[in-house]
Chains A and B, each alone.
Chain A
Amino acid sequence: MESNGDKPIVVLVDDEEMVITSVRAYLALETDYRVEGFTDPEQAAGFITQRPYDVIVSDYLMPKMTGIQLLRQAKEAAPEASRILLTGHADKQSAIDAINDVALFQYIEKPWDNTQLLLAIQGGIERARLLRDLRDSMAELASANDSLKDVHRRLIKAFL
């Protein structure tokens, strides 16, 4: 799963500190992930647009911006990272409507089940790293292709 040897980075965003404390304690016990927690979605937006990460888990209803608005920014900044919505909002429709909009990886309802949340985060990390590897391999392939073309061009030039 760890393509480049470093620890997976999980971003947690919830305006309730208790959620971050609880999930952080659980992930610390069960995994070696690095957890970046934010109670302020604007600060979280600052982090995800500047720093690399694998998965973002966001609440839906927060002051200043909704989880969907935050995840939209996350998609623009790092499309290969996975986006998970963790919501206690009873009206799912607005969230479901937005799923395609932000290419949501998972939707989890509060009160959440730790095992389910961990599976979602693990799956999200795996997906993000595969996508990143794929992107890197394609870039290598494109560069190799360019070199080949160059050799081809020089060969033709040499013979003509």
Chain B
Amino acid sequence: MADHEKHEIEPEDIEVLRRQVAEEHKMASLGRLLAGIVHEINTPIGSIFSNNQVALRSLEMLKNDLEHLTGETGAHARALVATCHSLAEVDKIACERIGNVIRGLKSFARADSDELHRVDVWEQVSGTLRLLQPEYGRRVVFENLVPPDLPRIECYPGKLNQALLNIIVNAAQAIEETGNVTISASASGDSIEIRIRDTGKGIPESVRDKIFHSGYTSKPAGQGTGLGLTLSKRIIVDLHGGELDFESSRGEGTTFRIQLPLKQKRP
């Protein structure tokens, strides 16, 4: 940045900066709100999980005890136990779904995101995808192909998740009807590369050099702030010393490539 020439600040630049700061504040408040909600839900859902397991185990024991009971009463009691058992099985699946959402929110909205942590990329991507599933899951197939044994990377997890979320949302929005968003990653030397590939419409050549500019959006009003990719670039390049670029071909899709160092430089 030091070799940049000094220039007059244009009013539009101030407006863009103001919007960037507002967006960052919004994301930080959202993170705190989510962390609070997760905390509030953890205890009751933990209780429900536990009770469900106890209920299922008890019903199995009761079923065994009722086996020798003959006559109409026995048949009736066995039918009631079978009904309760199948309801408890449904509750178990319902609990697992809630649990998945909670885990996604938890890894996304880490309250300690202002500190450096070593994180598992597969886990961060899974958490982010779980959050997007309800909105895009019906028309977009998300695939997490990040190898689970990829070395952990040192980063600001909340910020990095925000960047991943922005890029994956963009990928999902680039798909007009149905398609795939695939996230893969590999390690080489002291850095890793994460690739987010979509089968969407591709980025027109005329706008390729603008997509990281603040305020640029190709989406209808209300759908894009025009800040998502700018913030993602700032998080990856300025905050983590990484790289963010993309390759795109019309009608075939786009691949965003994030390169991140395994370790952060100490200030």
The reply on B53 being an interface residue by CB < 8 A is: yes
A110–B54 touching, CB < 8 Å: no
Of the residues A29, A90, A110, contact of B46 by C-beta under 8 Å? A110
CB distance from B118 to the nearest CB of A (A): 13
- What residue in chain B is nearest A94 (Cβ atoms)? B112
- What residue in chain A is nearest B44 (Cβ atoms)? A18
A16–B43 touching, CB < 8 Å: yes
A22–B50 touching, CB < 8 Å: yes
Of the residues A21, A92, A110, contact of B112 by C-beta under 8 Å? A92
The reply on A134 being an interface residue by CB < 8 A is: no
Q: Which of B102-110, B192-200, B238-246 contacts A (4 or more CB under 8 A)?
A: B102-110
Residues of A within 8 A of B47 (CB): 16, 18-19, 21-22
CA distance A90 to B36 in the complex (A): 8
B51–A25 touching, CB < 8 Å: yes
A91–B112 touching, CB < 8 Å: yes
Interface size on A, residues (CB 8 A): 22
Residues of B within 8 A of A111 (CB): 42-43, 45-46, 49, 99, 102
The reply on B3 being an interface residue by CB < 8 A is: no
- What residue in chain B is nearest A89 (Cβ atoms)? B39
Given contacts A19-B43, A29-B57, contact A93 B112 (CB under 8 A): yes
- Binary CB contact string for chain B from 15 to 54 against chain A (1 if under 8 A, 0 otherwise): 0000000000000000000010011001111110111011
CA distance A15 to B45 in the complex (A): 16
- Binary CB contact string for chain B from 45 to 72 against chain A (1 if under 8 A, 0 otherwise): 1110111011001100000000000000
* A 106-134 contacts with B by CB, 8 A: 109-114
B46–A88 touching, CB < 8 Å: yes
CA distance A88 to B37 in the complex (A): 11
A90–B54 touching, CB < 8 Å: no
A18–B43 touching, CB < 8 Å: yes
- Binary CB contact string for chain B from 86 to 128 against chain A (1 if under 8 A, 0 otherwise): 0000000000000100100010011110010000000000000
CA distance A90 to B50 in the complex (A): 20
Other than the given A22-B50, A111-B99, 8 more pairs (CB < 8 A) read A16-B47, A19-B43, A19-B47, A21-B47, A90-B39, A92-B112, A111-B43, A114-B49
Report which A residues bind B (CB closer than 8 A).
Answer: 14, 16, 18-19, 21-23, 25-26, 29, 88-93, 109-114
